[in-house]
Structure formats: structure tokens, C-alpha cells
Amino acid sequence: MKVAILSREPKLYSTRRLVEAAEQRGHEPVVIDHLHCNLVLEKGQPGIIYQGKRLEGIEAIIPRIGASVTFYGCAVVRQFEMMKVRTAIDSQSIVRSRDKLRSMQILSRAGVGMPKTAFTNYSDDVPAMIEQVGGAPVIIKLLEGTQGLGVVLAESAKAAQSVIEAFHNLKARIIVQEFIAESKGADLRAFIVNGEVVGAMKRQGKEGEFRSNLHRGGSGMLVKLSRAEKAAALLAAKSLGLGIAGVDMLQSARGPLVLEVNSSPGLEGIERATGLDIAGKVIEYTEQLVQKRKASSNKV
């Protein structure tokens, strides 16, 4: 199987591990920078030109699309889909997951537990917005933020109002979320492949930091999820249509609360915390997608 890993950086841990895992299973992996792909649109013959040549013979792709290039990255994934190439993560699911507000609306409709969240179109009634999520302290998040950037903890109603008004004056769209004190700066990351939790870790923020992201200096450790935590993570991934996902949750007094569902979850933290071959699970899932396509083609 010739599998393309859509990644802007071949030296990244996640990219290297996917290449290694594919080679170990006897496949031919290629790394393609999706930003350097030119899309050719014509009747009945969609194509992709990369490094001056038309891409051919690729049976599957594994998208590793960064948040800053979601628009173009998803356009490339859609083009592969039009070319009948199987994708481990489909374009529409990536789009859903990257829109924080839309994804939370989908999760809410599916019955997934989450912190109380409020969104407004630059409302002047900021105090009411704060009260809607249970009052201060509150978490204020930029809708476009990633890896813990654009996330602020406002410890008082006055501070929250100042931050919200500042973001509104900058025309930045935000959500306001309930602060879950009992989580104590930690969260859970469940890594899901093909409807199964293949690894889980607890991420603890460094001292004095409420964000637990590994990119912000947090640490990861192996953890065994409860039945409720597994169920919440699987429902969250399924509701967004993601075959591969990293689901971030908080442990609260009322059960697991989903914070975010990541459609391009990193492999480094989860593999080091668990000691598991998560990359191999991703390649195995991609194999199954290709085999299903071939089986359905043979039936026709």
C-alpha cells in the first residue's frame, strides 16, 4: 500500500513515527507537504500536482493538518477524496473539529458532558454572560486558539469583564466556560482509533499553570480511564465523525467533561506516556479502510 502522510514537517515526531510504522508493516509511505499541492479541477478528472508531477498510485492518506492551515489543508484532503483515495480522517470531520463553537454544538446535541459554555456576538451584557456559566472564576477562550494559546483564566467577575471587553474591542470571537476547580490543572487525553480507546494519559500542568497542554510545559503519565470516561471520549469522537481523534476531558464532580476533540492529535506525548505503538494502530486502521474499499469494488 502506498500511503501519503500529509505533513508540513517530515522531521516531526508524529510524522516520523507514522513513516516508521508504515514501513514496518511493509507499506510505502511518502510525506507530502499539503501546502505545496496544486489542485487541478476538471470534469471527471480531479488531480493533484506536487513538485511538478501529478500524484498517482496513492491508495490512502493520513492527514496531519495544522490549525493555521485548515482551509487549504482540507481542500487538499477533499481533492484526494474526489480522486477516490481513502483518508484516515475525512475533510468534513476536520472542519467540524476545528470550529470550536460548531463542535461544541454538535457535542451538546449528542449528549456529551462538557463545561457550561456561553457564546455571544459582542454582547454588552457581559455580567449576564459570566453568570450563565456559574460565575467567576471563568475560562475565556479564543475560538481560533490552539495548544493552550488564547486561553485565559479570569479569577474575578471584574477581571473576566475586562478580558471579554478587550477581546470584543479587538473583534475577536470568544467563548466563556465554567472553571472546573476540582480538576486541579489536570486533564485526560484519550487517543481513539476506529472506535476504540488505544491509549490514554493524564496531563498535569506545571505548578501555577491551569493549562495542562504538553506544549505549555505540562507532563503526561499513563492512566486507566473509567467506564464513563471511555464512553464520553468515544461518543465525542463518533459525534464528530472522527475515526482518529484525541479527546481532552476534565474530571469533575459530575463526571467527565469534554473540552475539545482534536482531529490531528500528536503521537509523541501519548506514546511516551503509555509506551504503546499508537502509530501502528493508525496504520492498521488505514489498511482496513483500503481493504474495505477494495472489497466493495470487487462486489460491483
User: pLDDT, tens digit, for every residue of 117-140?
Assistant: 998 776 677 888 899 999 999 999
Q: Which domain holds residue 69?
A: 2-89
CATH at residue 160: 3.30.1490.20
Query: Which residues make beta-bridge pairs with 257?
Result: 250
Angle 244-100-69 from CA coordinates, rounded to 5°: 70
Query: Which residues make beta-bridge pairs with 221?
Result: 202
- Separation of alpha carbons 126 and 66, rounded Å: 32
Q: Is the domain of 85 the same as that of 145?
A: no
Would you place residue 100 in the very low, low, confident or very high pLDDT band (cuts 50, 70, 90)? confident
Inside any domain, residue 107: no
Range from 29-38, 145-154, 247-256, 266-275 carrying the lowest mean pLDDT: 145-154
Q: Is the domain of 192 the same as that of 140?
A: no
Residue 231 in grid coordinates: 464512553
Where among 137, 152, 179 does a domain terminate? Answer: 179
Inside any domain, residue 205: yes
Inside any domain, residue 99: no
CATH at residue 51: 3.40.50.20
Q: Is the domain of 186 the same as that of 246?
A: yes
Inside any domain, residue 229: yes
Range from 55-64, 128-137, 143-152 carrying the lowest mean pLDDT: 143-152
Inside any domain, residue 207: yes
Structural domains counted in the chain: 3
Question: What's the Cα-to-Cα distance from 265 to each of 179, 243, 246, rounded to whole Å?
Answer: 24, 12, 5
Q: Is the domain of 225 the same as that of 210?
A: yes
**Tens digits of per-residue pLDDT, 180-238?**
988 888 899 999 999 999 999 998 866 655 555 555 556 779 999 999 999 999 999 99
DSSP state for residue 207 in the 8-state scheme: T
Would you place residue 83 in the very low, low, confident or very high pLDDT band (cuts 50, 70, 90)? very high
